[in-house]
Homo-oligomer: A and B are copies of this chain.
Amino acid sequence: MSMGSSIHSSKRAPLPRHQRQEPEYVCDVECIHPDLVAKLEKNAIDWETAVELSQIFRVMADPSRLRIISLLGEGELCVCDIASALNMTQSAVSHQMRVLRTSRLVRYRREGRVAWYALDDDHVLKLFTQGLDHLQHTSDEED
């Protein structure tokens, strides 16, 4: 309350959301338990790490991509087969594969006209499985 309270109006250049920077000031919040906060503050991940981590989860945050990942968990597939298996258009799959490629979750090789996609490593599948575990967990205890 005693800290500067009219800094609100100083807007900065609007950044693309996922390159946002940590806000550098607080003006309307008073810390109630400063000792507690001081201790925990150090243990929180920094903003940059949080942004990078959020990008990983963001890729996993779409049902179509998750189904693609679960398909690829079984083996290498081409775009056309993925589209057929998941009832998606070739274009939609291709767009999604780019997202997965860009974020390094899949690798691909070209064989003539056919592009074969596969999971890049098992880290992805671990995340996927862990997510399913959580799903199971929460549906167990639903009221």
Set B47, B63, B123: member contacting A63, Cβ < 8 A? B47
Which 10 pairs from chain A and chain B are nearest by CB? A50-B63, A31-B84, A57-B60, A58-B61, A57-B61, A29-B83, A123-B134, A54-B63, A61-B61, A50-B66
Q: Does A130 contact B (CB under 8 A)?
A: yes
Residues of B within 8 A of A106 (CB): none
List 20 A–B pairs whose Cβ atoms lie within 8 Å, in order of A's numbering: A26-B83, A26-B89, A29-B83, A31-B81, A33-B78, A36-B81, A37-B85, A40-B71, A43-B71, A44-B71, A45-B67, A47-B63, A50-B64, A50-B67, A54-B65, A56-B134, A57-B58, A57-B61, A121-B137, A123-B137
